[in-house]
Amino acid sequence: MKLYKQSSLIHKRDNEITSGQNSPYISRTPKPPKTLPRSINYLFKEQRFLFILVGILIGSTFFIFQPTLSRLSPHETAQPFSNSISRHTQHFPSTFGAKIGRVPVEIGRRRLRIVVTGGAGFVGSHLVDKLINRGDEVIVIDNFFTGRKENLVHHLGKPRFELIRHDVVEPILLEVDQIYHLACPASPNEFEILDCVIHKTNVMGTLNMLGLAKRVGAKFLLTSTSEVYGDPLEHPQKETYWGNVNPIGVRSCYDEGKRTAETLTMDYHRGAGVEVRALDPATGKAGLGQLNSDFYHVCIARIFNTYGPRMCLDDGRVVSNFVSQAIRKQPMTIYGDGKQTRSFQYVSDLVEGLVALMESEHVGPFNMGNPGEFTMLELAEVVKEIIDPSATIEFKPNTADDPSKRKPDISKAKELLNWEPKISLRQGLPRMVSDFRNRILNEDEGKGMK
């Protein structure tokens, strides 16, 4: 009985299979063979390929005609359009003699992350202005020992600006591309009061910043001083001159401190195998022989007397002393006979020189100053012409170790950095006077309100 049922079930299944094969409703029509890959087929559907071509055409048209538009005169181009272009473009020098238009900032160079130690000071704050205005991110490190927050107040709240209250004699960990090391009190009035602080900043501060530069592979620039030449026996002073310095005098904390900072910088360059300004980050090729790409960059600038807005009103430097005294109707103080000479550069010229050095492939040291030479008596006469012809002069005994003459030889910077100062003393001094007038007026008003 069981065998009969199994055979009947098998017979029934075979009949269903046979009938299914003959049924027109069960069979499926075979798919046609694919002629194109799915991705290409997707592009040609719904005119997608046409839209891609139109987009390429629009983009190409913009980059072809944009340089031409930037060279048009204001009369040929509508003012709103010209303004919108200028806000997003930057001038770049032509190469190989070819004329090029303005290039968008985002294409021309990448944004750098830069540390400026002592960035709340006189020179440092002007350098911060330059770096922020060109589109970089700037971190200022300052302990406000001599720096002033007022010098940076116009940058507070900007997304590309950061201010850290920190003393460089203590290590700090940051990720940066460049380090401008300016931190150090530089006023003659502070040499006797802050002598150990000044020397410690020059030694420990420089060591910490060099260590940071080595750790993260950042470029490092040391701002040294013409004081490394001491009371020079060579005139004008070239970078090859070793100087005539009193190592135990009242000014030695600054003079010898900066000389030590230069020594440390060059020790890192030589002893640590540090390559100096020779590696091109764009090509990865070394400009001074076969150098290791793991090396980092250092350079040294020797700064001569600098003046301009944001100087401390009473810091003991001759230009700020004369200007503040003349504005306050006080006698201008000359130490000694007034025949000692100095050279004075405007702060914006110095900032341009520092940036040029940082962007170059050279170590230095480089003198950075204005070769125009003035005696203290001549400087006093210029100040009288600009501020008050009736201003008087008061003579006092000269200070210890005061250099008798100071004038930079900047032929090296001219040749290798294509840099030289452009603003004369009579052009730059009125700008400083305007800043000092406002601050002294505000200072007097504040005293009157107390």
> In this predicted model, what pLDDT tens digit does every residue of 298-308 receive, in sequence order?
999 999 999 99
- 121 found inside a domain: yes
pLDDT at 27: 52
Distance CA(220)–CA(361), nearest Å, equals: 12
Q: Which of 254, 268, 296, 346 is catalytic?
A: 254
Distance CA(357)–CA(349), nearest Å, equals: 13
Each residue of 285-300: pLDDT tens digit? 444 443 443 445 899 9
Helices 252-271 and 206-216: angle between axes, nearest 10 degrees? 20
Q: How many domains does the chain have?
A: 1
Q: Give, for 323, the enclosing helix (H) or strand (E).
A: helix 318-327
Of 232, 175, 167, 185, give the one whose Cα is nearest residue 404: 232
pLDDT at 447 over 50: yes
pLDDT at 31: 56
pLDDT band per the 50, 70, 90 thresholds, residue 92: very low
pLDDT at 243 over 70: yes
42 noted as active-site residue: no
Each residue of 341-372: pLDDT tens digit? 999 999 999 999 999 999 998 998 999 999 99
Q: What is the pTM of this model?
A: 0.72
pLDDT at 93 over 70: no
pLDDT band per the 50, 70, 90 thresholds, residue 90: very low
pLDDT at 235 over 60: yes
Share of the chain above pLDDT 90, in %: 60
pLDDT at 47: 66
- 188 found inside a domain: yes
CATH number, domain at 120? Answer: 3.40.50.720
For the beta carbon of residue 51, count every other beta carbon within 10 angstroms. 11
- 257 found inside a domain: yes
- 298 found inside a domain: yes
pLDDT at 420 over 50: yes
Domain that holds residue 285: 108-310+345-371+407-423
pLDDT band per the 50, 70, 90 thresholds, residue 272: low
Residue for token pair 């009947």: 8
- 76 found inside a domain: no
pLDDT at 35 over 70: no
The pLDDT of 24-32, averaged and rounded, is 53
pLDDT at 67 over 80: no
- 249 found inside a domain: yes
- 337 found inside a domain: no
pLDDT at 71: 44
Q: Residue 171, SS3?
A: coil
The pLDDT of 388-406, averaged and rounded, is 91
- 204 found inside a domain: yes
pLDDT band per the 50, 70, 90 thresholds, residue 270: confident
pLDDT band per the 50, 70, 90 thresholds, residue 280: very low
Each residue of 193-221: pLDDT tens digit? 888 999 999 999 999 999 999 999 999 99
Token pair listed for 389: 């012809």
- Average pLDDT of the residues of the chain: 81
pLDDT at 309: 96
